[in-house]
Each structure stands twice: as structure tokens, then as C-alpha cells.
Structure 1
């Protein structure tokens, strides 16, 4: 969003260096814009094909001047050799009628419509496409706003049935998947910003995220879609792990952060076979269980133990499309704690589990704590009682709650004074890596186990379940 021609020239070069194919020049952001002079410089010196956009305020842009001068600038951009120009549907007919004679063959005209409040129905969107086509547009562009993540499905449905080149995007955090999956559903292009926060529309990812995190150039019609379902979800590192692993294994899949409000509606909406599996995180693990056609035996046992239940992973069985629920968090957590204890004690795998005989204090059983304690012959305590609980030294403390997770990083489930009774403290929270609980446990002399270790362990298992390929150590920073 440059304010000068010089800044825009620098940004265009960055766009090329980052791997962009096309650069949109938002000239409505330029201060003291002189169309003939500035457009001539920008178009002739552009290192990439150019899309000239001169967005008025009434369509969400910055320009608030004379409409005839704005359209004249766009006509000038065509004469000077722009590859694409964007004109709004509201004035498209008048713009086409004002073009003198035959327009330059090189330039393609995008006719756009933006809805900053909602995403209309598929029927309404289809009518909108027809209206845009009727103007003589070379390319249709529709940008809507996501109220719910299921709004993306309407754009996908219109995209796959479009008979003309079409750009279809859903704005906002819940619309991210529309930008990443554009190529899967036949979208003409998608937009990325040069820097986080420097966006021309809400929810826009960066070019680097599109190319390096989401491997967008590898996405096609047959790409399998996976993701992590949660709310909030922006903190999740899962896309970094899985997308890097999919790419290194040449597996045709994409893994997305999915900001979901209602799990059942999401699962019902995205029921196509290519939406093949999900990880579940707070607060949707229990809701995910209710959407399963079958539940893995181990997950079922855990459900019975708590008279409740949750899953951490859901796989769509390819043969008949049934959704199978799994809970593998416990495997990742136990493995992380065992490994740290072996390292601390100098033990080996042959010596058996180092957890034998250890007293565990688990924070996170909630209302089911008494029932669970009864079934495992343990004791249920409130957090207040936990401060004075010390039947023996050298206990292990496990936090399974989201307390301390970003953005509330200064919260902790127990006081620092309580931590002196524990030899090892494990926190399932992994953003941030060093939580306040772990920081204070370390200061109190306890061995600490990061939530990232559990995260990596369970990711290893889920990767095999998603892909059917041998698991590999996944990269994580």
C-alpha cells in the first residue's frame, strides 16, 4: 500500500523477488497521483505484469474524487500497456461505453463486486456472475465477507461452475481457505500481501505464506484438504509441520488452520471426499466426537473412563466416506514425559517405562475429576486444594488445560509456590513454547517438558494416518 511511486517501484521488485506472478498497483493509495506521469513510470518499469486498480471509497478504496477523472486514469492505463485493469460492476457499463473504438488487445478488464457484510447464497452469486459477464468483462471478480467458515463453500461452488475466468475470494479470517484453495476450485488468481498487516483486503495472507507455507503452486483439483479445527486458531503451528511434510513426501495435500464456530455444520458442509481429515484442538474436541461415524477403540475407552469424550483427530475413510475419530494426544504426551525422564535418569528403552510408580497430578479433568479419580483409584482436588497437596516429593504435574496459551501468556493454572513439590512439570500448551507454568517450574528446580514435544509426537502419528506413508520427523521451530 505505497503512498509514492518510488515506494511502489520498490514493492514491485519485492513482489517479484518473493515469487509473485502479477502485481496489483493500488493507485488510489498514492499521494499526489498524476495519472499520465505516474502510470507511465509504473507500467514501463514494472518487473511483472500489472493490474491497475483505482478503487473508490464507495467500493472500499481510498479515492474520493471526481468519477470521470478516475475512469479516465483507467483508460489511460490501458493505453500505456497495463496487462489488467479493475473496474467496479456499478460503473462497468458506463466504462465500457466510454472506451474509444477498439481497445488494446493486450489488456484484460476485470469487473469486480465487493460485499463487505456477508456472502450471498449460491443462487445470488450465480446471478451476480451473470450480471458481470453481461458487461463484457474478460474476468469476473467477486469478493464477499465470511460470517462463518462455511461461506467459502458457496464461492467454491460458483467457481467450479463458472464458464469464464473468475476470481472468487472470501474476506476475513474465516475466509482464508478461499484464498489458499483458489487453484483447487479453478480460481483465476489469488492475492497475497508483501507483509503481514499490509493488506488490501481483510484476511489476506502474505505472498511468502501462500508460496512457502501453503505450497500454493502445488495445489490442484485433486489436492486433498486437511486442517486443524479450533477457535481461536491463528496460533497453531500445525500448518507449518504438515505442509512441509506433505511437500517433502510428494504427497498431494494441503493443511489449513480452520476457524470453526460450529463443528457439525462445518463437517456437513465440507463433505466431499477431498476434505479428508482433521486435527482437533480447543474448544472443539468434544464436538468433533459427536460428528464421528465410528470411534477408535482406544478413544472409546477414554470416553468411557470420563463418561464424556473427545477426539484429537478425524479421518475420512476413503472406501465409504465414514468419519473415524481418534484420540492420540495421550500417546504424544506420555512419550514426551517418558523420553525426558529417561534422559534425566540415564535410562534406556530396555529398562521399561520410567513412569512406573510415579504420582501424577493432572490439571484439566474438570467436572469429571471425581469420577475419573474413582476409576483409577486416585484423588480429586480443586485447584485451591492443590496448593497444599504434597503426599510425597518428586511428583509429576501435567497441565492439559489451555491456561497460559497465547494471547494470555501470563496466566498459569497453579502458583509458583505449589511447584516446589514436583520433580517434573509438563505443559500441553505449546504457544508459547516456554509458558509461565514451565518458566516458574524451572525456577523451582523441576525438570520441564514442553508441549511442543507432545505436539511433534502426535503429529508424527497423524501424518501416517493422513497419508498412509511412513512417518518421519517433522520440522518444527
Structure 2
């Protein structure tokens, strides 16, 4: 213990069986350990303060004699009893074969006693000293001082946990891995801290926490996603990082599509959700060439243009970017739009499939001359508007922000109407309806943006929302006899375009389609 030579263990996934918000019985803990093993965890964490009516001798025996996986026993965070009883419980955990025992930095005085006890019982358990920093993540210097203080205790492993108020704080966590002389566990909790778990193996982390099914913990990826989407055993220092910039971001299906696709073509990349509050601070912080590109989601597709060094002409004309590449030769950020062709070709192909292709003799689009009713005027709506205009459609646009809708209508030579008139709007026969707003998105799935009675007048209804896959709008339109196109189809096609830009390789289109059909 206390060697200056850095050990680099392989990545282990740890599932917390107990959290500070719940009290559980030893029977529930044993069941949870077996569930964790079935879901792909390599080890489990058990907080003693959460064990119902904790009886050290009985409960530790039950837990440690029935463990199907290595166990990390975490000391009480707040201890108001006899310190000798506390130490005896931890010594008992060592005797009974706990694989890891974690004590807080402020209680590290007991460490040498535990180490001696470990030696007497010929235990191979590792000692962890931890520090949980409340409030905003401290400056880099303070974090380094904390790390040095924990290293000085002589622990086998040190652990630092912060609470991320902003994703930009996490860069400080990643830096710590390069400065530590012993194995380090370091991460930020909360939704904005998610990437501190997923990306830690790239920077030298060796324990990643994942939540059990049915026991979601903010900021922790699920064990299922770690096993099926991220597969962190493939992540190393050379792994290229791609992030989805959005707020919120937890709904995204991008990781379950892009990550398996990267591996399918043997590309060393990882795609992660990034909860971003402030674009300017984000782009001024994440400047590393390791971050090779971004997807851009709601509500940033328009705002992100000013942070791009260059913008592709199509994206410039649409004034919306959904893909950014960091050009390797000079590090410049180049913005693209793959939404436009993805949405319009999805609509066109559905019309052609149903025989609306102008008899097959014309090269013009089946959208040519049709009324295209667009709900929304944001980034996704702009892509649809410019795509529809390029195919010869006539546009009428509705948005809660009338001025924004008017501006878009002017750009595509369309008509604008007040949003409150949408429920009374009577389309001409053969019109196309496209919803490009979050209306109907999970969890508010029971809303539609137009009057249900008008749906039968539309030839085709398209919904940019893809969570859920079949929105209420699409279900009602289908019942009214309209052709329906899910946002899933647009999502797949824009993702294929992104994959090509991200990797410089040809996307495995059939493989990606199979994932979408099976997972969405």
C-alpha cells in the first residue's frame, strides 16, 4: 500500500445497491447483488448507513457470505455513535472478505488500524479514502490539494466526488487522473456530471458507476447502457469523443445508435450526451482535439452557428447546424446540417412508396406544388422549410413566436399565420403536415399541435418527435387515413449523415437501421 508506482487496473463497473435516500434489508441487498451481476456489473457498493437496523455481525455475514460479486463496503457518512463500534464493524468487514472498504478522509485516522487488521487476517481487500465535496466544484488547485491530502493517508485507492452545477466543471475532474500517483476514482454527480462516468476510462479512471434497472440515479448511466451502448472496455486514451449538445439530453437515443455503429466498423470513438447550459462557456472549455465533434439538439441548432469557425453553405442558408466537426489539421469547428435531407427524403420516400411520384415519369419531387403546413420555426423547422422549398412545395408556417415564424416564411417565400389559428386551420386536400415542435414528446405524450378533426384532410403527416416512436399525432393521423412518417426515420437518416462526417467512413446503413427498428 502507498506505492508510488501507478497501478492501472482494467475498467470495473460498480452498481450501488443502496443510496442515501433509502433504507434496505440485507435480503434486499443480496437480491440486489444478484440483479447487478445479471445486468453486467463487476462489483457492488453497499453503504452501511442504509442497512435497516444495522447489526454488524449478522448483516455483514449475510452480505459477504452471499456475495456473487466483489463488494465495496462504504463507511457511515455521518456517524453519531461509539467510534470503537464503528471501527469494529469495519474490521469485521475486512475479516469477512470485503473486497474494498471505503472511509471518508475525515475518518482516515482509522486506516492504519484497518491495514494492520487486514494483514493479520491475510485479507486482500483494498482500502479507499474518499472525499465528497459539497457545492460547486472547487478550482483546480484546491482539487489537487485534496488529492495530495488523500494520497498522504497511504490508501490503496483514493476517491473524489463533486456535484457538477455545470458541465464545464468536469474538465477539472479529468485533469486529476494525470496527476495522481495511486488509482483514482473521481466523478461528478447529477445529470450534468454524466460524462464524468462514461469518459473516465479515457483519462485513466478504472471504476465507473452504473445504476440498476428500476433504481435510476441522476448522473449515473444505467448498467444496461454501459453494457450494450458504451462498452467501456473498448475506451482508451486514443478514443475520439463525440457529444450531443442539448438541454435536456436524457431523452437522446444517439448513444445506442452511434456507439455500436462505431464498433461495427472498428472505429475507436465514443458518443456521449452532454447537458449544456451555456454554449459560450462550453466551447471555451472543451477545446481539446480529443473532442472530435458534436451533434446539436434542442434548443441550440440556431444559436450554435456563432461558435463555428466555418459553416457549410446548406447549413448557412438554413441558419441551423445539427453537426459540428473539429477539423483535425487546424482544430477549427465546421458546422453542417444533416437534418434537411434526412427529413425531406423520409417524406418523399413515403409518398413515392404510396404511389405519389407523379406517375414515375417526372424527375420532380412528389412534394412539388403541394401545400406544406409547418408547425414550428426553430432549427428542425428551418431544415424542413428549406428542404420543402427546394422541392417546390408551398409553405404556411405556424409558431408560438410569430416574428420568428414570419422571418422563416420570408426566407422560404412562404406564408405565416398566428399560432392560435392553427386549431382552426383547414388545409386543402393533399397537403402535408409537419410538426417540428416538442409537442407530444415524452413525458407529455398526450398532446397534438393541430385539431384532430383536420387530420383527415392531410395526405401525409410527419412528426419530428421520436420519443415515443409513435406519437399521439401519428396515431390519430393514421386513424384518420393519412400516410404517417415518424421522426425515427429522420433521426436515422440524419445520424447516417453525421456518422459519415464524424468518421470519414461510409456509415453501416443496414446495421444502423436494424438498431433503430429493434431499440426504438
**Could you state the TM-score of these two structures normalised by the residue count of structure 2?**
0.84
Matched, 1:400 2:431: no
Greater alpha carbon shift after TM alignment, 188-197 vs 95-104: 95-104
Residue 316 to residue 350, structure 1, CA distance change in 2 (3 Å)? farther
For the residue of structure 2 that corresponds to 1:285, the secondary structure is coil
Distance apart, 1:98 and its partner CA = 7.0
For the residue of structure 1 that corresponds to 2:298, the secondary structure is coil
- Separation of aligned partners in 2, 1:101 and 1:373: 76
Matched, 1:72 2:97: no
Q: Which residue of 2 aligns with 1:106?
A: 124
Distance apart, 1:72 and its partner CA = 1.4
Residue 102 to residue 217, structure 1, CA distance change in 2 (3 Å)? closer
Query: Are the counterparts in 2 of residues 231 and 283 from structure 1 also a CA contact under 8 Å?
Result: yes
Q: Taking CA–CA contacts closer than 8 Å with sequence separation of 6 or more, which of the two structures ends up with the larger relative contact order?
A: 2
- Separation of aligned partners in 1, 2:244 and 2:118: 51
Query: Are the counterparts in 2 of residues 363 and 401 from structure 1 also a CA contact under 8 Å?
Result: yes
Total equivalences in the alignment: 464
Q: Which residue of 2 aligns with 1:140?
A: 158
Q: Which residue of 1 aligns with 2:332?
A: 322
- Separation of aligned partners in 2, 1:12 and 1:147: 31
Q: Which residue of 2 aligns with 1:32?
A: 53
Matched, 1:416 2:455: no
Residue 224 to residue 100, structure 1, CA distance change in 2 (3 Å)? closer
**For residues 358-415 of structure 1, what are the alpha-carbon distances to aligned partners after superposition, in whole Å with 9 as ceiling and x for unaligned?**
1212122352433443444332211233445447311111122222222222233222
- Separation of aligned partners in 1, 2:241 and 2:427: 49
For the residue of structure 1 that corresponds to 2:241, the secondary structure is strand
For the residue of structure 1 that corresponds to 2:341, the secondary structure is helix
**485, 503, 512: which one aligns with 1:449:** 485
Residue 237 to residue 383, structure 1, CA distance change in 2 (3 Å)? same
Q: Which residue of 2 aligns with 1:383?
A: 419
Matched, 1:364 2:349: no
Q: How does 1:48-87 map to 2 (within 5 A)?
A: 48-56=69-77, 58=78, 65-87=81-103
Q: How does 1:246-257 map to 2 (within 5 A)?
A: 246-257=262-273
Greater alpha carbon shift after TM alignment, 101-110 vs 173-182: 101-110
- Separation of aligned partners in 2, 1:47 and 1:94: 28
For the residue of structure 1 that corresponds to 2:185, the secondary structure is strand
**123, 126, 138: which one aligns with 1:120:** 138
CA RMSD, Structure 1 to Structure 2 (Å): 2.2
Matched, 1:5 2:21: no
Q: Which residue of 2 aligns with 1:20?
A: 41
Unaligned runs of 5+ in 2: 1-16, 19-23, 378-400
Distance apart, 1:105 and its partner CA = 5.6
- Separation of aligned partners in 2, 1:429 and 1:322: 31
Distance apart, 1:243 and its partner CA = 1.2
Query: Are the counterparts in 1 of residues 94 and 118 from structure 2 also a CA contact under 8 Å?
Result: no
**288, 304, 314: which one aligns with 1:298:** 314
Query: Are the counterparts in 1 of residues 296 and 322 from structure 2 also a CA contact under 8 Å?
Result: yes
Matched, 1:471 2:507: yes
Unaligned runs of 5+ in 1: 303-308
- Separation of aligned partners in 2, 1:99 and 1:389: 76
For the residue of structure 1 that corresponds to 2:36, the secondary structure is helix
Q: Which residue of 1 aligns with 2:181?
A: 163
For the residue of structure 2 that corresponds to 1:381, the secondary structure is strand
- Separation of aligned partners in 1, 2:237 and 2:166: 24
Residue 64 to residue 11, structure 1, CA distance change in 2 (3 Å)? farther
Q: Which residue of 2 aligns with 1:305?
A: none
Query: Are the counterparts in 2 of residues 276 and 316 from structure 1 also a CA contact under 8 Å?
Result: yes
For the residue of structure 1 that corresponds to 2:374, the secondary structure is strand
Greater alpha carbon shift after TM alignment, 408-417 vs 152-161: 408-417
Residue 376 to residue 16, structure 1, CA distance change in 2 (3 Å)? closer
Q: How does 1:277-316 map to 2 (within 5 A)?
A: 277-302=293-318, 309-316=319-326
**For residues 202-252 of structure 1, what are the alpha-carbon distances to aligned partners after superposition, in whole Å with 9 as ceiling and x for unaligned?**
422222221212111111111111121111111111111111211222211
Residue 24 to residue 389, structure 1, CA distance change in 2 (3 Å)? closer
- Separation of aligned partners in 1, 2:38 and 2:494: 36
- Separation of aligned partners in 1, 2:280 and 2:260: 29
Greater alpha carbon shift after TM alignment, 348-357 vs 82-91: 348-357
- Separation of aligned partners in 2, 1:263 and 1:374: 28
Query: Are the counterparts in 2 of residues 159 and 166 from structure 1 also a CA contact under 8 Å?
Result: yes
